[in-house]
């Protein structure tokens, strides 16, 4: 089974990468983009078929390693 963990900056945390993209897009004439925020997508191929086990393990991994709770949050999608 496949799983995707998405890590994104918490609301209110300044995202200099997102700002740079947003400013560049505005300069290039793409109007109406109020904000851009950059996150990470981490894909897992798992041996298990047990969704709840996978979710438990991945949320532990995301909490301990993939996301820094001071500035980031995460969500898990199982496929």
> Tokens 């438990």 correspond to what residue?
56
In whole angstroms, the minimum distance from the beta carbon of 49 to another protein comes to: 27
Residues 6 to 65 in contact with another protein, rule: CB under 8 A? 13-14, 16-17, 20, 40, 64-65
70 binds another protein (CB under 8 A): yes
Q: Which of 23, 43, 68, 77 binds another protein (CB under 8 A)?
A: 68
How far apart CA 35 and CA 19 sit, in angstroms, is 7
Pick 47 or 65: Cβ nearer another protein: 65
Long-range contacts formed by 47-56: CB under 8 A, 24+ apart: 48/1, 49/1, 51/1, 51/78, 54/1, 54/3, 54/78, 55/3
Binding region for another protein (CB under 8 A): 13-14, 16-17, 20, 40, 64-66, 68, 70-71
């Amino acid at each position: 089974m496949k799983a995707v963990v998405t890590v994104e900056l918490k609301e209110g945390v300044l995202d200099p990468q997102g700002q740079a993209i947003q400013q560049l897009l505005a300069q290039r004439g793409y109007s109406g983009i109020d904000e851009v925020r950059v996150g990470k997508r981490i894909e897992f191929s798992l041996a298990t078929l047990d969704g709840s086990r996978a979710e438990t393990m991945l949320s532990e991994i995301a909490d301990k390693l993939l996301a820094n709770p001071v500035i980031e949050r995460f969500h898990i999608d199982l496929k």
